[in-house]
């Protein structure tokens, strides 16, 4: 299953790259992520909790940054095995950054895509339910990211998608 999207923030690309590359900043943008620890350079463990349809999920996950081309791309892979409702979850996330015009001048366009594979009860819910959950999660992540860039003095927070 593939999820894609984009947002534009009022911040220079180098600053956006630096923030997105910071695991703590990125995790703070995702509701439900806790217990983030760096287990090796560019390898992280975290807990992610969410509710999909009528089921609650708690994943202990491992994420590794497998490629980082400053200041334009970051690729990460994550996996979780043997969770209660999900026998296996694997995901690859690719983030591309490019210069963009904003109302305030210099900005950065963030294009992202996530390819995920799920098995077990979570996988059996079907793509429409999981796509709906992904869209539900996307809006607050985008708002949090924009707010985060504004904390660095990058201008006003634009409306979320």
The answer to whether 110 and 20 are in contact (CB under 8 A) is yes
Provide the pLDDT for residue 32.
Answer: 80
Q: Is the pTM of this model over 0.85?
A: no
Whole-Å CA distances, 110 to 9, 29, 58, 148: 8, 14, 28, 14
End-to-end Cα separation, the chain, in angstroms: 21
Distance separating alpha carbons of residues 142 and 161, to the nearest angstrom:
8
Distance separating alpha carbons of residues 8 and 108, to the nearest angstrom:
6
Provide the pLDDT for residue 111.
Answer: 92
Average pLDDT over residues 10-38: 87
């Amino acid at each position: 299953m593939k999820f894609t999207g984009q947002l534009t923030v009022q911040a220079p690309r180098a600053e956006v790259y630096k923030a997105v590359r910071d695991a703590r900043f990125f995790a703070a943008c995702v509701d439900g992520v806790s217990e983030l620890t760096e287990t090796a350079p560019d390898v992280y463990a975290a807990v992610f909790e969410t509710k999909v349809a009528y089921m609650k999920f708690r994943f202990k996950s491992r994420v590794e940054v497998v490629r980082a081309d400053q200041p334009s791309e970051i690729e990460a892979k994550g996996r979780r095995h043997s969770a209660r409702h999900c026998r296996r979850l694997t995901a690859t996330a690719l983030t591309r950054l490019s210069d963009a015009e904003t109302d305030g001048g210099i900005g950065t366009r963030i294009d992202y895509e996530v390819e995920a594979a799920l098995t077990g009860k979570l996988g059996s819910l079907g793509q429409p339910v999981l796509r709906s959950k992904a869209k539900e999660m996307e809006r607050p992540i985008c708002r949090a990211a924009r707010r985060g860039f504004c904390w660095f003095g990058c201008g006003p927070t634009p409306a979320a998608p």
